[in-house]
Structure 1
Amino acid sequence: MLDLPPRISDSLLALVHAQRALAYLVADDAQNLVRCGGHLAHYGLAGLQCGMPASEQVLFLEGLLPLAETPFLIRSMEMPSGRVADVHFFADEDTVWILLLDVTAEYEETRLVQQKAYDMTLLSQREARLIAQLESTNRELTLAHRDLAASREALQLAHDRLQQELREAELYVRAILPAPLAEPWTVDWRFIPSTELGGDCFGYHWIDDGHFAIYLIDVCGHGVGSALLSVAVADTLRSEALQRTDFRSPAQVLTALNQAYQMERHGELFSTVWYGVYGRATGELRYASAGHPPAFVAGGPWEDGRPLPASGPCIGLSPAARYQEERCTLGPPARLYVFSDGTYEVARPDGSMMEFAAMAKILARPAGAGLSELDSLLAYARDVHGPGVLEDDFTIIKVAL
């Protein structure tokens, strides 16, 4: 530690408190909030109550307490207010201190630099390929003594080829998605990426004759990096490539998946995952969530529909994360929906957001013959959004028993 005079130490603390919007939380060994202070409202955490469970009031603490190691740091965590903070964890005897330091400016600057680097790389690749095409075209023009019109035609052909290659890359992602099923129950889906390569991926397959796995992955961000990671996670689940893991146990699967895809080894990208296993003979659905929106069930005894809650930290944030398995029994004519947040977090032109309840109302109402609730929801989301492409991937799976 620096041996600084108290006046200088106090000045440094005041500087950090002012410039970094310091806020703190203190949890006891029962994981109850015992103290809090600082700029809590800055992070959207005003109104916390001491004596109550900390993780029920501060959702990003779910699964992180008690600490597996100390000190512990989660960088660039988005807060309820939209600000971004480094979250520092320190164990102090029977309590854990959680300090929030605002890094929104640095986060935005880093994101802009990364985006600029990606744009420049993509531009350089396209430029190199276009130059190669232009040189080839120029040689052809020199040999054949073609006129300017022929040159323009060749350039257009080169441009079309580049666009075709981008479309083929998107088609590759789509090609690995599973085909809809008609038996022993109906499985259908809709996948509308927000960019040429999105961050969502999903799958379903038979683990054995009696157990059917369903999963959906949503990697943070968009573009090539997010798309490649989502495809890799989906392939890991589809090929059951996690050693010493019972793929009929959702909690085991998410725990092993979290160990395999820590964000520091995967470009600082984390993901949300929903994983469920339906027992054909028992009708029991076992499921677990890693920071993912709840699945939704409708039909039969759930005429108005209801979400299937499950909680757990996102994949990649902490190697010590643990996941809890939930269960429910489903039978005909129940309909199970698994989706990413892009299906209902749709911005209206005035900046307001579409509500989860609006999506639930559409999914709870059975579509007529030859129609699909998935198409109804997509049409509603596009109508809410207005012209242009949706800001986030629209991904939803329907299992009709």
Structure 2
Amino acid sequence: MQDHAEWARLRDRLLSRGRMPELPPGWCHQSAMLPASGFEYGGDFIVSDLSADGRRLQLVLVDVCGSGQSAVPAAVKFAGALESLVVAVPDEALLDAANAYLQRQPEDENLATAVHVVLDLATGEYRIRSAGHPPALHWSAARREWRIDNARGTTLGVTDTPEFGETRGRLAAGEALLFYTDGVVESRSVTMDDGIAWLRSVAREAVLDDWDGAAKRIIDQVDLGDDDRAVLVVRRTGI
């Protein structure tokens, strides 16, 4: 059985791998994470890669099956695998490669949802692929609201022939993408649809108040539950 120091070491490894790169002028990001109620550690994590020329950003937000301490060892191993895969395989093959990795793991470590985004920082064009993950949100500067992205797909580790939905779009100046794990929008008493409607409202108020710190203000309004929670926002400031 792992002691507190070992859990802390594992969590530190997970957090160090999840540090986002510094983005070029005109772009910013923020994130906030909280483990399940009663735990200090959780299994949600981010893997990212910025191209050498600073133009192309890849992000993967992952929610490993399980919550709290039970999810940490599997999350650390999977984060390490994804960190290698994101620079070694074509972006269109990343989720397939991640799925193949999980298929080879022990039964209690082989399920995760993920959302993968490839973002052109010169044009604002993006592609989102989903593996059983809650839908991303796109902030429309013109409408001043969060719109639901339609990418859907198969949870990683479920089958050796998964299907991953893909959507494409473009961020104009002042627009943003918001990614989150299901602990933010779903609980035993709240359906996913109702939770997403709640998130769109809360996130709208959060960014209209002030973009700085919006991710943490969103997380702070999520009821404590039995699942980990993570929010990631990538914004094109245009400045």
What interval of TM-score do these two structures reach, taking the shorter chain for normalisation?
0.7 to 0.9
- Tell whether the 8 Å contact from 1:192 to 1:394 is kept in structure 2 after alignment: yes
C-alpha deviation, 1:255, in angstroms:
1.6
How many matched pairs? Answer: 228
Give the distance between the partners of 1:370 and 1:295, measured in 2 at CA. Answer: 18
Matches within 5 A, 1:264-343: 265-268=105-108, 269-343=110-184
C-alpha deviation, 1:391, in angstroms:
1.5
1:360 to 194, 200, 209: 200
> What is aligned with 1:217?
62
> What is aligned with 1:202?
46
Matches within 5 A, 1:119-198: 122=1, 163-179=4-20, 181=22, 183-184=24-25, 185-194=27-36, 195-198=39-42
Give the distance between the partners of 1:371 and 1:325, measured in 2 at CA. Answer: 29
Higher relative contact order (CA 8 A, sep 6+): 2
2:230 to 388, 395, 399: 395
> What is aligned with 2:75?
230
C-alpha deviation, 1:196, in angstroms:
3.3
Structure 2 unaligned regions, length at least 5:
none
1:373 to 185, 208, 214: 214
- Opposite residue 364 of structure 1, the aligned amino acid is R
SS at match of 1:321: coil
Give the distance between the partners of 2:209 and 2:147, measured in 1 at CA. Answer: 21
TM-score (norm 2): 0.82
C-alpha deviation, 1:273, in angstroms:
0.8
Give the distance between the partners of 1:180 and 1:374, measured in 2 at CA. Answer: 17
Q: Percent identity?
A: 24
Q: 1:182 to 1:275 in 2, by over 3 A?
A: closer
- Tell whether the 8 Å contact from 1:204 to 1:212 is kept in structure 2 after alignment: yes
Give the distance between the partners of 2:122 and 2:178, measured in 1 at CA. Answer: 20
Return the index of the structure with the highest Cα Rg: 1
SS at match of 1:397: strand
C-alpha deviation, 1:355, in angstroms:
2.5
SS at match of 2:76: helix
- Tell whether the 8 Å contact from 1:298 to 1:363 is kept in structure 2 after alignment: no
C-alpha deviation, 1:183, in angstroms:
3.8
Give the distance between the partners of 1:253 and 1:232, measured in 2 at CA. Answer: 16
C-alpha RMSD over aligned residues: 2.6
Give the distance between the partners of 2:129 and 2:218, measured in 1 at CA. Answer: 25
C-alpha deviation, 1:193, in angstroms:
1.4
- Opposite residue 219 of structure 1, the aligned amino acid is V
Give the distance between the partners of 1:236 and 1:281, measured in 2 at CA. Answer: 28
TM-score (norm 1): 0.51
